[in-house]
Structure 1
Amino acid sequence: MLKAVILDDEIRGSTLLNRKLEAFAEELQVEAIFNDPFKALSKIVELDPDVLFLDVEMPGLNGFQFLEKLGSFNFQVIFTTAYDTYTLEALRLSAVDYLVKPIDEDELHTAIFRLKKRVAGGMKRTSSADQNSALNRLALSTAEGIYFINKSSIRRVEAMSNYSIFYLQDAKTIMVSRTLKEYESILQDENFLRVNRSVIVNLNLVVKYRKGEGGTLEMDDGVEIEVSPSKKMALMKIMFPV
């Protein structure tokens, strides 16, 4: 049973979403509903949800700022928003899905399907060798504090506006207020590659390449990432050296 939390400053919006989620009662349970992001900050860690349905525009603390203040988190994110703006492409990449209000039931069904696939893939853990290694560590500074991680534990890094989101093998996610371009230079010699404008991947964790104009990479957690045609040659040189 998946555990969910809803954070939306509008009571009407959170209530309607909760009702629509009742259709998935056999596989998902709403553990808590918050209409104040600051109250959610103090409670969400102990609730330990699998997914957070997160409103983007909230007074005092928007969805991006909420995740940054949280620092690191082990749950997936499905954004809910009334604003179909330029940020939605970034939201699509960095979250399981985004849902534009009023939320369509078919789109909600698709989001839950993606969520189950993402959660199932994210349960894989790093090897003991990775966990014990003191080499190749990276310091990630967040509003909460500084996290020290092994570079080998990074699955991918995704851009979201002016933030970078690190997805790790232990299913943890860390949000940092630095651009993807900065981390591209830091990771360039570590078998990482920026395969499109918004994603850097750990090539050691690629399990399948699907052919196409640029192609598609399938990662070890089941996430599929499109390769930009301009990056295909660089990818081929690394993945299939002569």
Structure 2
Amino acid sequence: MIKAVILDDEVKGSSLLQHKLNAFADVITVERIFNDAPLALAEIQKIKPDVLFLDVEMPVMNGFQFLEALGQFEFDVIFVTAYNVYTLDALRANALDYLLKPVDPDELACALNKLVKKLASKAELVKMNVMNREGTGTRLALPTVEGIYFVKKEEIIKVEAMSNYSVFNLSNLSKIIVSKTLKEFESLLEADGFVRVNRSVIVNLHFVTRYKKGEGGSIELIDGSEVEVSASKKQFLLNRLFGS
């Protein structure tokens, strides 16, 4: 069952959306409704929803400011708003969908269908990652909108964070964008020569060609890119590079 949370400062709007979601009670349940963004900010991570139905125009902070204040999160976001001027902002926020009030039941059904498919891909990734942890292979399963890519770990040069997505840079210079956070891949890669050198990048040490000194320093990779090393990660990185 999909767990949903609704954040809308208007009680009438949130109640109406809940009523429309009740028509899909076989696949989704509303765990909590918030009409106050600061309260939602404090409580939502405890609920661990699969999806957040998020209003845009709200007092104190709007929907985009709410996501920015939240930082990293695991759930998908479906914007529900009376205004059609935020579509591009929603895309930049990597929202799963964008629904206009009053929400059309058919459009809601399409959004939920999209969510079901995405969660199924995530479940498949979890299954493959369990296999990786058990040492049954050296590949990662990376779900994308086109399908699931199976990538050898030794072909990964680096993984970069892009909001709630991860961008895999491969040795053939191709890139794969995956709808999962960097944190979810860190534990799967750390035993195979990978190090998270700052908040946004995990690198494959086998592709490091140079270390430049500095407060944290930086490293050059075989693809010609340069990655800053945070001061807090410097010593750990050097220990891994020089085997101490």
The bucket for the TM-score relative to the shorter chain is 0.5 to 0.7
Aligned in 2, Cα 1:139/1:99: closer, same or farther, shift over 3 Å? closer
Write the distance in 2 (CA, Å) between the matches of 1:104 and 1:25.
Answer: 17
How far does residue 150 in structure 1 lie from its aligned partner after superposition?
8.8
Write the distance in 2 (CA, Å) between the matches of 1:170 and 1:46.
Answer: 18
Mapping for residues 1-242 of structure 1, pairs under 5 Å: 1-85=1-85, 87-92=86-91, 94-123=94-123, 124-125=125-126, 126=129, 127-128=132-133, 136=158, 156=177, 167-168=180-181, 189=223
How far does residue 81 in structure 1 lie from its aligned partner after superposition?
0.8
The question of whether the paired residues in 2 share the 8 Å contact of 1:10 and 1:35 is answered with yes
Write the distance in 2 (CA, Å) between the matches of 1:61 and 1:68.
Answer: 10
How far does residue 89 in structure 1 lie from its aligned partner after superposition?
3.6
Write the distance in 1 (CA, Å) between the matches of 2:63 and 2:116.
Answer: 22
Write the distance in 2 (CA, Å) between the matches of 1:95 and 1:35.
Answer: 20
Percent of pairs identical after alignment?
45
Write the distance in 2 (CA, Å) between the matches of 1:72 and 1:130.
Answer: 25
Write the distance in 2 (CA, Å) between the matches of 1:13 and 1:64.
Answer: 18
1:194 maps to what in 2? none
- 1:60 aligned partner, one-letter code: V
Query: Please, what is the CA RMSD of the aligned residues?
Result: 3.8
| 5+ long unaligned stretches in structure 2 | 141-152, 186-198, 200-220, 226-244
How far does residue 169 in structure 1 lie from its aligned partner after superposition?
7.4
How far does residue 95 in structure 1 lie from its aligned partner after superposition?
1.5
Report the secondary structure of 1:3's partner residue. strand
| 5+ long unaligned stretches in structure 1 | 158-165, 177-186, 192-242
- 2:80 aligned partner, one-letter code: T
Aligned in 2, Cα 1:42/1:82: closer, same or farther, shift over 3 Å? same
Aligned in 2, Cα 1:169/1:112: closer, same or farther, shift over 3 Å? farther
How far does residue 155 in structure 1 lie from its aligned partner after superposition?
5.2
Aligned in 2, Cα 1:139/1:104: closer, same or farther, shift over 3 Å? closer
- 2:24 aligned partner, one-letter code: F
- CA displacement, residues 119-157 of structure 1 (integer Å, 9 cap, x when unaligned): 111231455569999x846578x9xxxx9x895699538
The question of whether the paired residues in 2 share the 8 Å contact of 1:74 and 1:171 is answered with no
Count of aligned positions = 162
- 1:168 aligned partner, one-letter code: T
Write the distance in 2 (CA, Å) between the matches of 1:41 and 1:72.
Answer: 12
Q: Which moved more, 1:31-40 or 1:113-122?
A: 113-122
Report the secondary structure of 2:42's partner residue. helix
How far does residue 60 in structure 1 lie from its aligned partner after superposition?
1.0
Write the distance in 2 (CA, Å) between the matches of 1:92 and 1:61.
Answer: 19
Aligned in 2, Cα 1:190/1:13: closer, same or farther, shift over 3 Å? farther
Write the distance in 2 (CA, Å) between the matches of 1:90 and 1:169.
Answer: 22
The question of whether the paired residues in 1 share the 8 Å contact of 2:4 and 2:49 is answered with yes
Write the distance in 2 (CA, Å) between the matches of 1:155 and 1:41.
Answer: 31
Aligned in 2, Cα 1:90/1:130: closer, same or farther, shift over 3 Å? farther
TM-score (norm 2): 0.55
- 1:40 aligned partner, one-letter code: A
- 1:63 aligned partner, one-letter code: G
Write the distance in 1 (CA, Å) between the matches of 2:99 and 2:224.
Answer: 35
- CA displacement, residues 24-51 of structure 1 (integer Å, 9 cap, x when unaligned): 1111000000000110011111100010
Aligned in 2, Cα 1:137/1:113: closer, same or farther, shift over 3 Å? closer
Q: Which has the higher contact order (CA 8 A, sep 6+)?
A: 1
Over alpha carbons, which structure has the higher Rg? 2
Aligned in 2, Cα 1:10/1:74: closer, same or farther, shift over 3 Å? same
